[in-house]
Structure 1
Amino acid sequence: MSSERIRRFLAGQAPPTPFLVVDTALVTARVREFAAEFPHSRLCYAVKANPEPAVLRAVLAAGGGFDVAGPAEITACLAEGAAPESLSYGNPIKKAADIAFAFEHGVREFTTDAESDLRQIARHAPGSAVSVRMLVETPASATPFGRKFGCTPAEAVALLRLATDLGLTPGLAFHVGSQQPDPSAWDTGIATAAKVAAEAGIPLAHLNIGGGFGIRYRDPVPSLAEYAAVVRAALAAHFPTPPRLVLEPGRAVVAEAGLIRTEVVLVAWRGEHRWVYLDIGRYNGLAETENEAIPYRFEDGGGERGPVILAGPTCDGDDVLYQHTPCELPLALAPGDQLGILDAGAYTASYSSVAFNGIEPLRTYCLE
């Protein structure tokens, strides 16, 4: 449920909907929880999850670093006081100019999964640390990456050796998919990394195990302690001397700190189905409802409930949130009523469009 500070804000404020409220104290607490469960590791918060300056400051307050995806995110983190060495350029897809920009601003850690990119790093960021990202076959996550990122284990062996020849400090990386409910996925990734490192004959300076740690939307997920226990066991089982861990959580740091307030625009019966249209949809904050991947929970006014098909406000036929995922809302719901969308701090405001259908990006209020 939303924090008491968010409830006090909502009781005393009435901004026009939709908007997101983030309690940054919960962000700081979550980063500290990661530090406690993964001691001696380096946490790099995935800025793309929520790049609000107050969120970045909350991560810094807990001693966290940042996983950045490009020059804009580098600039944002440095503006809030992050040390350049606390940044990891985690995007394997980047222009040579972006690599040079990062290096000029003090970034010394990069991720790669292709020879051409690795050679660009060696040229424009000489002597840097580099994580070769492997494609690992893991249980399905809520939002998998498919085969867009990551090289095969055989390719990773070759890239590790090439990185060494090019004067870079080599490590490995993998990502098990966003909102991964099965901790065994990390065992698979760590086992693969150990085999690749052994075959390459190169000691790893670090192992980046990505993000993907799940949070509870509607279905239970393991606790952070359960995820950490599997990771520790996998490292002990597969590495004689475990490398230093790097983690890149985004959702697990900020999602539970946020609540979206939205207004009902229209209630209509389409045949035997009750459709409820909100003033927020897939293009102005709820992009992760595509394929109904993330099943958000709602706070409402109570009363007898019944099933609904939930849709957004735009004139795009794909702007439907839940047509197959069970969703129940009060039978008395009417235009003008307001709802709270829980656990909405991640991948909402940062995904909203600039002005599709003339709708402004999702406004965010951060409580510090």
Structure 2
Amino acid sequence: MSTLLRIDSRDYYDADTFSRIREFADGKQTPFVVIDTGIIGKQYDAMTEHFPYAGVYYAVKANPAAEILTLLKDRGSNFDIASIYELDMVMNIGVSCDRISYGNTIKKRKDVKAFYERGVRLFATDSEADLRMIAEEAPGARIYVRILTEGSGTADWPLSRKFGCQNEMACELLVLAKELGLVPWGVSFHVGSQQRDIGAWDAAIGKVKVIFERLKDEHDITLGMINMGGGFPANYIDPTNELATYAEHIHKFLVEDFGDDLPQIILEPGRSLIANAGVLVSEVVLISRKSQTALERWVFTDVGKFSGLIETMDEAIKFPIVTDRSGELEKCVIAGPTCDSADIMYEHYSYGLPMDLAIGDRLYWLTTGAYTTTYSAVCFNGFPPLKDYYL
């Protein structure tokens, strides 16, 4: 058996932060996630420090809590919006329309009209039908086209297949946008969430450069913006480079292709801003073995794929888990509480938990501030959505 990794909270949080979260969690009924907004503020400041030339558009889908949106609004963030419901959330806390991008390429006509009527003028697209609808419902709007990118093999949570179009179509759409009275403004891409290969940005920026040059040379269209999406990492089990390293290399890639006079650059971080701020607290419901000679324990918790941990699908995101037990580690299967057999978080990954772990013990899932509350089911098996608290 391979050596099992013992998780230490001190590798993820300073002692005071984790103690404060633990103290707050005491006595509360599990499962729930506790999010330290101070960490989010520090992450945002780091993003703007390392990318001083870029506009930050927070990906609201990562966690739309009013506490987070308000903090980021006050910090100066813009917002990447995926639906009319997210638009309501940010505008209800006083975000102005010039700080909003409608970044979803799949949208209803009535929603495009509503965004436009409320003042939003920046829209993503990746298809002709969507572009023509925007031209009809949002005349004169700025358009950016999302392109397909590689990088799915090195991103823990790939995003490239569903969204985007090939370079040839991107050029055609931007030319058509001008013909339809829209403003062909830029190109966007997303290299995949939790992208550990910094070179994925190099390849994508190279594709964008070709589109910029072709439109300028062949159609006299000068684009003004590159939307580089998200993809920056959070601190899970698998190691990644520091944000400063990403920033250094990405800036080099941009300068190599576009020189020192860069177009407007947009970033859409979600995970990298808020994941590290969250600790999900759960309880061990059952520990069992499938036979008297089975080598692996099954550890069932009161949180699972349908209550916030969907990103463990295919064991893609490997959350660090801390317990109060200090016994020898033993490989186990970790599963959720529902009646769905897909509700297994880790079965193949060599995840070790202490042998003295007992029913009723708490598990602390670290780095769970992003994509937990938003992925939580409403009432599967009657379980309520994941509770969330903000410090």
Bin of the TM-score, shorter chain as denominator length: over 0.9
| Match of residue 187 from structure 2 | 172
Maintained 8 Å contact 1:28/1:61? no
- Tell me whether 1:224 sits opposite 2:243 in the alignment: yes
Per-residue deviation, residues 214-260 of structure 1 (Å, max 9, x unmatched): 12211211111111112211111112442110000100000000000
Measure, in 2, the Cα distance between the counterparts of 1:149 and 1:285.
Answer: 24
- Tell me whether 1:43 sits opposite 2:56 in the alignment: yes
Give the alignment's TM-score, normalised by structure 2: 0.91
| Unpaired runs of at least 5, structure 1 | none
Measure, in 2, the Cα distance between the counterparts of 1:62 and 1:6.
Answer: 24
Deviates more, 1:243-252 or 1:228-237: 228-237
Q: How far 1:57 sits from its partner (Å)?
A: 1.1
| Match of residue 34 from structure 1 | 47
Give the counterpart letter for 2:204 in structure 1: G
Measure, in 2, the Cα distance between the counterparts of 1:306 and 1:350.
Answer: 32
| Match of residue 254 from structure 1 | 274
- Tell me whether 1:157 sits opposite 2:171 in the alignment: yes
Q: How far 1:5 sits from its partner (Å)?
A: 4.5
Equivalent residues, number? 367
| Unpaired runs of at least 5, structure 2 | 1-11
Deviates more, 1:71-80 or 1:123-132: 123-132
Deviates more, 1:164-173 or 1:137-146: 137-146
Q: How far 1:128 sits from its partner (Å)?
A: 1.4
Q: How far 1:15 sits from its partner (Å)?
A: 1.4
| Match of residue 288 from structure 1 | 311
Give the counterpart letter for 1:204 in structure 2: L
Q: Secondary structure at the match of 2:157?
A: coil
- Tell me whether 1:311 sits opposite 2:335 in the alignment: yes
| Match of residue 4 from structure 2 | none
Residue number among 145, 151, 171 corresponding to 2:159 in the alignment: 145
Task: Show the 5 A alignment for 1:232-247.
Answer: 232-240=251-259, 241-247=261-267
- Tell me whether 1:263 sits opposite 2:267 in the alignment: no
- Tell me whether 1:200 sits opposite 2:228 in the alignment: no
| Match of residue 19 from structure 2 | 7
Give the counterpart letter for 2:55 in structure 1: R
Maintained 8 Å contact 1:65/1:87? yes
| Match of residue 9 from structure 2 | none
Maintained 8 Å contact 1:67/1:89? yes
Maintained 8 Å contact 1:108/1:125? yes
Maintained 8 Å contact 1:158/1:200? no
Q: Secondary structure at the match of 1:336?
A: coil
| Match of residue 3 from structure 2 | none
Measure, in 1, the Cα distance between the counterparts of 2:64 and 2:371.
Answer: 10
| Match of residue 325 from structure 2 | 302
Q: Secondary structure at the match of 1:349?
A: coil
Give the counterpart letter for 2:20 in structure 1: R
- Tell me whether 1:337 sits opposite 2:358 in the alignment: no
Per-residue deviation, residues 51-78 of structure 1 (Å, max 9, x unmatched): 1110111211221111110000000011
Measure, in 1, the Cα distance between the counterparts of 2:212 and 2:39.
Answer: 37
Q: Secondary structure at the match of 1:283?
A: helix
Residue number among 206, 212, 215 corresponding to 1:191 in the alignment: 206
Maintained 8 Å contact 1:262/1:280? yes
| Match of residue 6 from structure 2 | none
Q: Secondary structure at the match of 1:307?
A: strand
Q: Secondary structure at the match of 1:136?
A: coil
Deviates more, 1:23-32 or 1:343-352: 23-32
Task: Show the 5 A alignment for 1:67-86.
Answer: 67-86=80-99
Maintained 8 Å contact 2:300/2:337? yes
Deviates more, 1:306-315 or 1:57-66: 57-66
Measure, in 1, the Cα distance between the counterparts of 2:108 and 2:94.
Answer: 25
Measure, in 1, the Cα distance between the counterparts of 2:245 and 2:232.
Answer: 10
Q: How far 1:9 sits from its partner (Å)?
A: 4.3
Measure, in 2, the Cα distance between the counterparts of 1:231 and 1:290.
Answer: 30
Runs of 4+ in 1 over 6 A off after TM superposition: none
Maintained 8 Å contact 1:2/1:259? no
Q: How far 1:139 sits from its partner (Å)?
A: 5.3
Measure, in 2, the Cα distance between the counterparts of 1:84 and 1:114.
Answer: 24
Give the alignment's TM-score, normalised by structure 1: 0.97
Taking every aligned residue pair, what percent have the same amino acid on both sides?
41
Task: Give the CA RMSD over aligned residues.
Answer: 1.3
